[in-house]
Amino acid sequence: MTSPHTARRSRLVAAFGQTVDALLVTRLVNVRYLSGFTGSNGALLVIPDEEAVLATDGRYLTQAAVEAPDVRRHEARAVGAALVDLAKQNGTRRLGVEAAAVTVAELDRLRGAAGDEVELVPMSPLVEPLRVVKDSGELAALRAACAITDAAFEEIVASLRAGVTERDVAWDLQAAMRRRGASGASFDPIVAFGPNSAVPHHQPSDRTLAAGDLIKMDFGALYDGYHADMTRTVVLGRAAAWQADLHSFVARVQADSVSACGPGVVPAELNRQAHDAIEGAGYRVDHGLGHGVGLEIHEDPFLTAGSGAGGLVSDVAVTIEPGVYLPDRGGVRIEDTVVVTDSGVEVLTMTPRELLEV
Ligand code: ZN
Ligand code: ZN
């Protein structure tokens, strides 16, 4: 049986075709996608019809043997330069490098190793487009990450009471996810009480929770390298009429966007429909409708005005997260992680979306 990593490398080779003789992959998230290696120092040399070579240093050799058994392993500290050297010995003349991932300093090192024999060819992203469509193992990891996220929310929302701080709740969410098997949080949880909920990406502070506060929680679990992303907004005690109205409006935009999402849907168009609804109701638009999610918390495709004209296809994971923010009063965002199917979407984060009065 072909490993998922072998299959991914074959697709990569097909993607760069004859443009270069080989590709040097230095973006760690792409190294992981193509080999399984999760260490913090590594690079991968992908040569058509030959075994790929993973370079890493002594700290990670044992781990690399376990995680990436189907590539050749090469010990080096300066992993990129070592692989350029290896490519040179292998007769590579044109070596592609990930232009968006290489710093000026690293490029100097790579050039030093390349000398006059190897031409370094800056390549536009090749691995990122492959990562857009998830395979079954990736979907399983995303489902597990989202299930942990749902369970953590259920636990923490039950413990909310007046006097806790935003920082407390953010930390409790992290702990609840880790207790359930997450390797960490997808990102530092956003927990915002009262007027702070009007700041889309508020940083948890020492503000204490008081009756009548909106409570916006945007967080997710990291599981097997895959990121969940969910936002719910609840209220402590009885909701005021303006809070209930705002929440039901955002919930309707979110539900409409989820219903409208599916194969063939153009992300920019889905984004526009949601923004038209928000602006049509007299509110301001502060951010895009959503983003791809996978080995990175924000990845292609982005559900924004500037995204390309291509339609979504099956097994693409995205978030759908409209929000409306009333400065100095409060804001509501509702976000789910979904996967495009043959006929619509599968919603992976299943926490109820109606306004909870806790
Ligand atoms: Zn989020
Ligand atoms: Zn998000």
Gap from CA of 291 to ligand 2 centroid (Å)? 6
19 near 121, Cβ under 8 Å?
A: yes
The percentage of residues in the chain with a pLDDT greater than 70, rounded to a whole number, is 100
Amino acid at 195: P
- DSSP per residue over 29-50, as a string? HHHHHHH----SS-EEEE-TTS
| CA 123 to chain CA mean position, Å | 22
| Confidence bin at 16 (pLDDT 50/70/90) | very high
Gap from CA of 45 to ligand 2 centroid (Å)? 32
Ligand nearest to the CA of 230: 1
Phi, psi of 3 (to 5 degrees): -75, 155
d(C-alpha 190, C-alpha 205), whole Å:
10
Nearest of 140, 45, 124 to residue 90 by alpha carbon: 45
Gap from CA of 220 to ligand 2 centroid (Å)? 9
Task: Report pLDDT for 308.
Answer: 78
What is the torsion angle, in degrees rounded to the nearest 10, for the CA atoms of residue 212, residue 166, residue 248 and residue 246?
70
Helix (H) / strand (E) containing 188: none
The percentage of residues in the chain with a pLDDT greater than 90, rounded to a whole number, is 97
Gap from CA of 73 to ligand 2 centroid (Å)? 36
Task: Report pLDDT for 1.
Answer: 62
Gap from CA of 218 to ligand 1 centroid (Å)? 5
d(C-alpha 354, C-alpha 358), whole Å:
12
Task: Report pLDDT for 165.
Answer: 98
pLDDT at 253 over 80: yes
Q: Locate 195 and state its tokens.
A: 């007027």
Residue 212, CA distances (Å) to 124, 244, 329, 358 in order:
50, 11, 11, 10
pTM above 0.85, yes or no: yes
Gap from CA of 86 to ligand 2 centroid (Å)? 40
d(C-alpha 290, C-alpha 270), whole Å:
10
Task: Report pLDDT for 309.
Answer: 80
Gap from CA of 328 to ligand 2 centroid (Å)? 23
Strands across the sheet with 119-123, in order? 72-75, 53-56, 43-46, 22-25, 94-98, 119-123
Gap from CA of 230 to ligand 2 centroid (Å)? 7
Gap from CA of 211 to ligand 1 centroid (Å)? 25
Ligand nearest to the CA of 318: 2
